[in-house]
Structure formats: C-alpha cells, structure tokens
Amino acid sequence: MAEVLLAGIFALVPERVIGALVEAAEGLKSPLYLCGGAVRDLLLGRPPLDLDFTTARAGELSRLLARTLPATLVVLDEEEQAWRLVWKGRDLDITGMRDPSAEIVDDLKLRDFTINAMAVRIDQESLARGSGELIDPCGGEGDLAAGVVRMVSTKAFADDPLRRLRAFRFAACLDLVVDDRTMAELSRQEGSLAKVARERVDHELELIMACGRAGPTFEQMRDNAVLAEIIPELIVGRGVKQPASHHLDVLDHGLAALCAIEEVNRDPARWYPDSGHDFYKWLSRGNNRRNLCWAALLHDIGKPLSRGMKGERITFYNHDQAGAREVAKIAGRLRWSRKQREQVARLVRLHMWPFHLNNARRKTGIRPRACLKIYRAAGDDLAGLFLLAMADSIAGRGPGRPETMEADLAELYREVIGVVRERISPLHKRPPLLTGHDLKDMGIAPGPIYKKILEAIFAAQVNGELTSPEEAAAFVETFLSGSGQS
C-alpha cells in the first residue's frame, strides 16, 4: 500500500495541535483517521485546503479537545455527528462513523467519489514516521492518477443530489474528467437538484467559476441536463439563431464567451498590448475575475426575450437591458450578495456599449464627451467591460463579423483610457467651474436639475468647450433654454 506524507497538514495546523488530537483519540481508544479531500491533496503533492478527521467517538473527542487545546467548539450537525474545532482561526472538522460499529473501510464506501473515499490513520507512530499508510478501498489513488472522477456508488446521489454538481466541480478544480458511467448516472438523476438549498448550489458554482476551467465545465453541464436545472434561463437560448456576425446559437455563444473570457483573463496583455497593467490590476481586485466569468456566460441571456425581425434581418433590440433583469432574477435565486448582483448585472447591461462606440469611431471618430459617458456608466469596471467585449468578439465567428474587431477594441480602449487620464482625471482634481451654491445664486431652484447641469458642465469641460466660470454660467443659461440638453 502507498504511504502518504503528512508534512503538508502542518501548513494548516501546527504539529503540536495534531499531537493533542491524537493523544485525546488514543485516550478514548477511538482510532483517528484523516479522510477525504486532505488525503487527496496530499497525494497530489499540495497542501490541503482543510482537514477532516473521522473517528467513532467524534462528539466526545471534539468536546475533550475543545477543553484541552483550548479551542472553540462548533456543532455543525449533531445528528450527523459533525463538529468543528476552531483554534486560532484554523478549522479542524471531526465527524463520526456513519455506523459507529463499522470499520473505516466500510465508512469510506459510503462516500461520494473514489478520490474522496481515502483515509490515513493518524496516530503516534504515523506522526513520528511523518507518513501513514493509505486506506483506499475504492481505488481512489488509481482514479486520481488516471485523472478520473468516479462515483463510489449510485446511492451517493440519492443521499445528496448536490453531488451531481460536485462531480463537475471536482473535475474542474482538479483538472479531471468525469467517467462515462458516473456521467450517465448524473443524467439519470435529472431533476433532483431542485431538492438542494440554493446556497449550496451557488457555493459549488462559485468554486467552478473561480477555477479557470469553467467554460468546458459548463459545456459538460449543458450536455448532462445539470445546467438546465440550475440556470434554465440559459437553455432557452438553445436553437435561437443570431445575425451573420455569429456562428452559434444564443446558448452556445454564451458558453463560448465563457471559454473566451478565461482565455483573455489568462493574458489580457495579448489582447490589449498597450494596457495590460490596467486589466491585471482590475482582475486582481476582490471577486472581479469570478464575476466577469458570470457576466460572460450571461451577457446575452436577454436575447430570447428580445428577438424580432426587421425584414429579413434578426434583431435583439434592448437585449442588454432585458439581460440585466434576468441576471437579477438568477442572482436572487442563487442568493448572490448585492455587490455581486449589481456588478454582473451592470456588465451585462453595458456589454454592447463598446461595440456601439466602436461603430461610431469607425464612421466619424469619437469626441471626448463619448469617452466620458462610457467611463461614467462603467465606473471602476471599465477594464472589466472591455475584457467582456473582447471575449464576446472572440466568441462570435460568423461570416458577417468584422475581421479587425479585436484590434479595433484594443484601439478603442486606448483612446478612451487616454481621455480618462489626460482630461477627465485632471479635471476631477480641480475645483469645479460652478457648484450647487453658484446655481442657487443664479436663481435656480434646488432639485435633480442640479446634477444634470453640473454633469453637463463637466462634459463640456472634457470636450474642451468650457474653461472658466463665466463660460460655465453662460452655458447654464443655454442649457436651461433647451438648446444644450441634447
């Protein structure tokens, strides 16, 4: 049997804490096993993300260790014999045998996938040796080496339907492939995800979106009916044809855009060669990278609701606005935070703007005022909006697509960001030409009109039309007369 090196677990919890755990377990004469993902990660040669221990007397061991360490004891599920010890911000999960009279091998055979059905006994001997013998009744080590996610039994999905989604998550995050028999069982269990709490579903989806292989994973979920259960709004796009700039229907274009955004995110400087730093910086902040993946997948979700015909031509008028409303519905169902919902919806709502601006630039060129408008609309997500546009362009390969679209988007961003840096940002640092007090002194009644006036003054400054308070005051009179409100 293989030996599993244990040094990796001490990156999470010091050896003396593990020693206290072993000592307590031996005092209770209850053999202790490191199980599941931690063993899998150790075999892959990487530090575990968390530590899960199994023992017959889990409750007693948890309470004893909480006193002796000391540590905070959290009851995760007393009926399922699941406890968590929190020691200096680090977690140790301790669960009981599903059958207290059973052996660890029997317990492992009740788990979900073979790569998670492995264990190592942790005792004084294994700690002293720095390794433990692998317990692997289901062939998880071989499946891991072969790059396969394989179910332990069909019962696993009946016990917890979320495992249907977890199969794809493990495949995505570990760069594995779900085996054919398991994939067939995932399809056979169609409809069961409706029984699962939405928060649990969203947790798995977020892990997939963050792993860098979401595109092909969502394509597999499309083919397996799992996608139809969790985001049915996407499936409505199947068979919805698009104009000549596209070679795919709406559903597959969204999936292609997700694949494309992951490619763009890996090396944004390839697509925006003069501005790579802007994009790397934006992608490194918070959950921007993950939320951008969601926006790519959902950017055209409003098209089936907006489809029309103008003569022989297919139209999708205002599909960006309809899409933002659909995102809000999905976000509510998946229990997204307000920040995530607003960011993804904003990117979807604005995703056509770079293309409209690019068309104007080709025909007549664009004025600084146009750059200000897109900058105001996108705010801190301007870089993200252009990454999304690039992915959208890459995913559309129809005969009617302009050949230079990606290069045009790069040129457009260079022009927009140049205006932001050379005109808009410097003006923000200067005192405004007029303030609300000035407008009041001019006899204008306070109200929403103030914001419109001050924004119009700033836009005229950016355009180089105003440079002094006197010019701004004259501009206000023209604006209020109606001639400056276009």
Residue 486 confidence (pLDDT): 37
Which residue type sits at 178? V
pLDDT tens, 241-257? 998 889 999 999 999 99
Cα separations in angstroms, 207 against 166, 203, 210, 252, 330: 10, 6, 5, 22, 17
Token code pair at residue 133: 């013998």
Residue 484 confidence (pLDDT): 45
Helix, strand, or coil (residue 91): strand
DSSP H or E segment with residue 451: helix 449-462
* Average pLDDT of span 321-336: 97
- For the chain, count helices (H), then strands (E): 28, 12
Residue 1 confidence (pLDDT): 65
Q: How far apart are CA 485 and CA 482, in angstroms?
A: 5
More confident residue, 483 or 1: 1
Residue 245 confidence (pLDDT): 87
Report yes or no: 185 and 225 within 8 Å, Cβ to Cβ: no
pTM: 0.93
The position carrying tokens 């022989």 is 312
Specify the length of the chain in residues: 486
Residue 485 has pLDDT above 80, yes or no: no
Q: Are strands 177-178 and 148-149 parallel, antiparallel or unpaired?
A: parallel
DSSP H or E segment with residue 121: strand 119-121
* Average pLDDT of span 41-68: 93
Across all residues in the chain, what is the average pLDDT? Answer: 94
Domains defined along the chain, listed by start: 3-146 (3.30.460.10), 148-230 (1.10.110.30), 260-429 (no CATH), 436-481 (no CATH)
